[in-house]
Structure 1
Amino acid sequence: MGSSNTFRLGGRDWPKVTWWKMKGMRFVYLTLWAAMITSATNGYDGSLMNGLEAIPSWNESYNFPSPPILGLLAAAMSIGSMLSIPVVPYVADILGRRFGIILGCVTMLFGVAMVSIGYRIALFVVGRIILGFGLGIAQECSPLLVSELVHPQHRAQYSTIYNSLWYVGSLIGAGVSYGTVHIEGSDWAWRVPCLLQGIPSVCQLIFIWLVPESPRWLISKGKLEKAKKILAYVHAQGDEDDELVNVEFEEIQQTIALEKEYEKSGWSELWSTPGNRHRSIILISIGFFSQWSSNGLISYFLPKVFELIGITNGTTQLQINFILQAVNVISATGIAFFVDYFGRRPLFLTSTIGMLICVVAMTISLATYGEDNHPAGNTFLVFMFFFYIMYNIGFSGMLVSYSCEILPYRLRAKGLTLMFFCVDLSLWFNQYVNDIALNAISWKYYLVYCVWVAFEVFVVWKFYIETKGTPLEEIVRYFDGDTAILGGQAATEKGRILAAQVEEAESKTVTA
């Protein structure tokens, strides 16, 4: 393994670089936010629904929606994302990562327009479904572009920060709702938060053109010259003869070529080999765990949860939500800079064990709360904040970054789609069922999550592996062992044999 001043690629150590001292890298990293704020759009929606439920004029406009209707309104976004699943991997693989972001943003703007028109439940639901459809496309293409474009040294930090920006959007949403709730007697109290959901998409459509396309996607389409030029621009100040750029280019090109030649890329590939079954277990579990750790209760039904501890004032609820989102921003983005220091597996284990302790404590607090038992309510609030810090250590940023890096190129878009499908499925369940369950059995619903999070600890301990300090293409070794297909200087034995076969076949063709 490399020292603190080096990173590994192609089986050797390379000196680390300082991104702000390299012109091309500096420009791309400063404009890469145009891809990364997709996650913030998603986070804004979480706070938006909490905020709308606490705004009197919104409730009046929609005739005080019943719990089932509230569940449908919240779940509509996830339904739209699930409907995009048949489309997403083909958009990403055929049309490109950057085009997928553009298509997703345009679709989301149509959804924002319908939601903001207002008054009819049907229109609001359809608008959120369209929003979810666009988000489903953009939220997959964005992390693919980020992880496949940045320098190997920075992949873990940038791809982990990507999903952590969910909380930036959530914080903005909480602040907007808290501000507009004071617009009394006007529909603009809820229309403004709905309209502002379109601002990130507008910004992305303007600035995404400054971000280069994924070199890996370009190589897969045979655009080798353009791909190498981008690699050189981002990683070596435009020097196409740079040794690192050539090692990267050779490893990526040969690995993708071998995958195309000898591997399938259909959906069945996700479970056709032991290595891919292992990947699928991680993808499915991380998708469900990210939403079924009791965080779904607070993210979308915070007012209902607060009622269990006697906090019924809408302004107070929005104040606490705003503070919570600020803590989330700091903890989620902060841990992203230490992913390569601590490693993925220790962070996931710390996260799940910490969440289990907090969920048990919150359940006990709810069980002992009474009208005169304010300490129990305060204890719940304290552990709610600690719960989110524990959650953010593992599942905020690494939900996307870990899912991306464990997949080979040929399966990256489909595997990420599988993970997001599990996220959407769990969100749909949470948003439709949680409100009903809270109304039916109150605090006892938390007992379900105590058992579930204990199960999460076991799965993480059993299946989640360490990928710290390993280049993107070379992670296949951990899952596929000797059967892994990897080209370039770090090629596996199988990769070298297959590469030799391809070279021999090409030489015979030329001779003939």
Structure 2
Amino acid sequence: MAGGAAIDQPTSLAITNLLDPRPWWKNSRLIFLNLWILLLLITSYTNGYDGSMMNGLQILDQWTGAMGHPTGGKLGLLNAIQNIGALAATPIAPYVTDGIGRKLAIIWGASLMIAGTAVQSAAQSVGMFTGARFLIGFGLTFAANAAPLLVSELAYPPHRAPLVSTYNSLWYSGSIVAAWTTFGTFRINSQWAWRIPSILQGLPSVLQVILIWFCPESPRWLVSKGKEEKALRILAYYHGRGNDQDPLVQFEYNEIKEAIELDKEISKTVGWTTLFATPGNRRRMRIIIALAFFSQWSGNGLVSYYLNLVFDSIGITDALTQTLINGILQIFNLLVALIASSLCDRAGRRVLFLSSNVGMLVFFVAQTICFAQNAITGSKAAGHGVIAFIFLFYGAYDIAYTPLIVSYTVEILPYALRAKGFTVFNFMISLALIFNQYANPIALGSIGWKYYIVYDCVLAFEIVFMFFYCVETKNRTLEETAALFDGEDKVEMITAKAATRIGFEQALGRGSAADDKLEDHEAYTEKHEHEHAQV
């Protein structure tokens, strides 16, 4: 991006001077807010659980026997059908999310997933199992479309980027549970060996349906529906200790109003074509579509859904060893992804993406070499090298493509396009996954290690693309980040109007010292706490 004050010096400094200087863990309301956000974050569990569960089930003789020993296209369909279900729901998901609200969209999606999990767990045939997985994918689309938006629109400003980044990182929480569940149940000499892992897939959806009724709704969605007083109460309760005149609350509230008012100028004509109607929107969609495909076409799909085929190809056929490695890999992935999530505002998105891409290319080329050596010479050392480089490859992948693809997509979209743009992102991921899940088992069976060269070329292309097109967005509010793609004028206009409305000089970076801020917060809290004790 070009220079200028709004770009070189992030305008999120406007709210930095308004933040309560006391640690967030000493604020009980922020603790409760983050617990609500945790409930939203576990939406990612179901998606992560599925890939690891299907990896584990393919290792279990009890499941392969019950499903008629699927191979090739039939196995590809069993893996891909959930994403086909997701694809079917994609066109209507943004209308549900924007129409009935983020909360109700999550409840609707979670309810469908509970129904699908029940049918899947009780399946008596491959057709019943396939239909249930379609329903799970269909419901997941609604929840996965709404949950990251609600997290980003509820979170306390300094917490937003790490928390939204954590959303996709918790993909591995489901993956871990599935991997270790199948590791524990493969010894059960009955169909409960695969039915138990299937039942546990619905656990987060049950928790959400029970508890999410008490979670606050998005202030941005409420303002967009004319419920401004309720939006202000939520912001005040969680971000201002109950004080609706708190400087930070007033700045956030007015910035939301200004951004939505600007978006409403074009909202009457907002449709799917609007996503590509302006240079700024085309820049957004170029990045979003690329991220969707890169996240699935970087070679990770080989391990995510067909780890057993990779193991079989390098001579590791023991079910105990396969399930054990799968379980350890998922724990490793979660740890790296969570660490990377905490660094997104420190290191920056661009640095993390480029580091991730370079690391993935290096370690996947190393996998290719080891795989080839094992296939040609039968070297056991080369086979063990494949396993080592799988771990290193995923470590590199988890630096950016696990934590950032959702948060980066959400933050670069303006409110009026956020649900639709995020739907396009999910749609493209589903397309990429369906192709991978069909093509990978067929290609591995046909050309073996040579198939890895295809992904080596894709990874090299990704580095070039991200170098030229990835835009740095760290340390900005949602409104500032979305406006960044439309030019400096819009960034300055939104922030300046919000600052002018509340009349605080510090909102434009001319704030006082920390002691003065603390005194301001305490004075406001003492004056208004009794008036705003309840939302």
Say yes or no: does 1:219 pair with 2:214: no
1:195 is displaced (CA, Å) by 1.1
Q: Which of the residues 118, 133, 136 maps onto 1:131?
A: 136
**2: distance between equivalents of 1:320 and 1:482?**
49
**1: distance between equivalents of 2:297 and 2:419?**
23
Cα RMSD for the two superposed structures: 1.9
**1: distance between equivalents of 2:97 and 2:451?**
39
Question: Percentage identity across aligned positions?
Answer: 46
Q: Counterparts of 1:373-412 in structure 2 under 5 Å?
A: 373-412=379-418
SS of equivalent to 1:484 = helix
**1: distance between equivalents of 2:34 and 2:487?**
34
- Is the 8 Å Cα contact of residues 7 and 153 (structure 1) preserved in structure 2? no
Deviates more, 1:207-216 or 1:296-305: 207-216
Q: Which of the residues 178, 191, 195 maps onto 2:195?
A: 191
1:222 is displaced (CA, Å) by 0.5
1:66 is displaced (CA, Å) by 2.1
Structure 2 partner of 1:67? 72
Q: Which of the residues 83, 91, 94 maps onto 2:88?
A: 83
Structure 1 partner of 2:261? 257
In the alignment, residue 423 of structure 2 is paired with which amino acid? T
**1: distance between equivalents of 2:210 and 2:442?**
41
1:397 is displaced (CA, Å) by 1.1
TM-score normalised according to structure 2 size: 0.89
**1: distance between equivalents of 2:495 and 2:65?**
65
SS of equivalent to 2:472 = coil
Structure 1 partner of 2:207? 203
76 and 434 in structure 1: CA distance in 2 versus 1, 3 angstrom threshold: same
**2: distance between equivalents of 1:311 and 1:326?**
21
SS of equivalent to 2:487 = helix
Structure 1 partner of 2:533? none
For residues 409-454 of structure 1, the C-alpha deviation after alignment (integer angstroms, 9 at most, x for no partner) is 0000001001111111011011111111111111111000000011
Structure 2 partner of 1:503? none
- Is the 8 Å Cα contact of residues 480 and 494 (structure 2) preserved in structure 1? no
In the alignment, residue 64 of structure 2 is paired with which amino acid? N
1:485 is displaced (CA, Å) by 7.2
**2: distance between equivalents of 1:146 and 1:365?**
42
Structure 1 partner of 2:293? 288
Q: Which of the residues 428, 445, 450 maps onto 1:422?
A: 428
In the alignment, residue 223 of structure 1 is paired with which amino acid? K
Structure 2 partner of 1:243? 247
In the alignment, residue 368 of structure 1 is paired with which amino acid? Q
**1: distance between equivalents of 2:266 and 2:80?**
41
65 and 489 in structure 1: CA distance in 2 versus 1, 3 angstrom threshold: closer
Structure 2 partner of 1:24? 29
Say yes or no: does 1:147 pair with 2:156: no
1:478 is displaced (CA, Å) by 2.4
Deviates more, 1:8-17 or 1:391-400: 8-17
1:483 is displaced (CA, Å) by 5.9
**2: distance between equivalents of 1:295 and 1:62?**
25
**2: distance between equivalents of 1:30 and 1:64?**
43
SS of equivalent to 2:328 = helix
In the alignment, residue 206 of structure 2 is paired with which amino acid? V
For residues 124-161 of structure 1, the C-alpha deviation after alignment (integer angstroms, 9 at most, x for no partner) is 11111100000011011000000000011111110000
In the alignment, residue 439 of structure 2 is paired with which amino acid? V
Say yes or no: does 1:339 pair with 2:324: no
Q: Counterparts of 1:278-357 in structure 2 under 5 Å?
A: 278-357=283-362
Structure 1 partner of 2:517? none
**2: distance between equivalents of 1:85 and 1:475?**
25
For residues 226-260 of structure 1, the C-alpha deviation after alignment (integer angstroms, 9 at most, x for no partner) is 00000111111111010110011011012102211
For residues 338-358 of structure 1, the C-alpha deviation after alignment (integer angstroms, 9 at most, x for no partner) is 111100000000000110001
1:487 is displaced (CA, Å) by 5.3
**2: distance between equivalents of 1:257 and 1:389?**
42
**1: distance between equivalents of 2:348 and 2:297?**
23
Say yes or no: does 1:369 pair with 2:409: no
1:175 is displaced (CA, Å) by 0.6
**1: distance between equivalents of 2:79 and 2:496?**
47
SS of equivalent to 1:480 = coil
Say yes or no: does 1:44 pair with 2:49: yes
Structure 2 partner of 1:509? none
**1: distance between equivalents of 2:36 and 2:47?**
20
Structure 1, gaps ≥5 residues long: 493-512
**2: distance between equivalents of 1:388 and 1:35?**
25
- Which protein has greater RCO, CA pairs closer than 8 Å, 6+ apart? 2
1:215 is displaced (CA, Å) by 0.4
- Is the 8 Å Cα contact of residues 15 and 251 (structure 2) preserved in structure 1? no
Structure 1 partner of 2:476? 470
For residues 67-101 of structure 1, the C-alpha deviation after alignment (integer angstroms, 9 at most, x for no partner) is 21110000001001100111110011111011111
For residues 243-279 of structure 1, the C-alpha deviation after alignment (integer angstroms, 9 at most, x for no partner) is 1100110110121022112443211111111110000
- Is the 8 Å Cα contact of residues 411 and 482 (structure 2) preserved in structure 1? no
SS of equivalent to 2:12 = strand
**1: distance between equivalents of 2:475 and 2:160?**
10
1:118 is displaced (CA, Å) by 1.8
Structure 2 partner of 1:234? 238
Structure 2 partner of 1:96? 101
SS of equivalent to 1:131 = helix
Deviates more, 1:138-147 or 1:473-482: 473-482
- Is the 8 Å Cα contact of residues 10 and 251 (structure 1) preserved in structure 2? no
**1: distance between equivalents of 2:101 and 2:12?**
28
Q: Which of the residues 261, 265, 272 maps onto 1:267?
A: 272
**2: distance between equivalents of 1:245 and 1:40?**
32
**1: distance between equivalents of 2:58 and 2:494?**
55
TM-score normalised according to structure 1 size: 0.92
For residues 460-495 of structure 1, the C-alpha deviation after alignment (integer angstroms, 9 at most, x for no partner) is 111110001111101134211156377554359xxx
- Is the 8 Å Cα contact of residues 474 and 490 (structure 1) preserved in structure 2? no
- Is the 8 Å Cα contact of residues 7 and 13 (structure 1) preserved in structure 2? no
**1: distance between equivalents of 2:45 and 2:300?**
17
389 and 7 in structure 1: CA distance in 2 versus 1, 3 angstrom threshold: farther
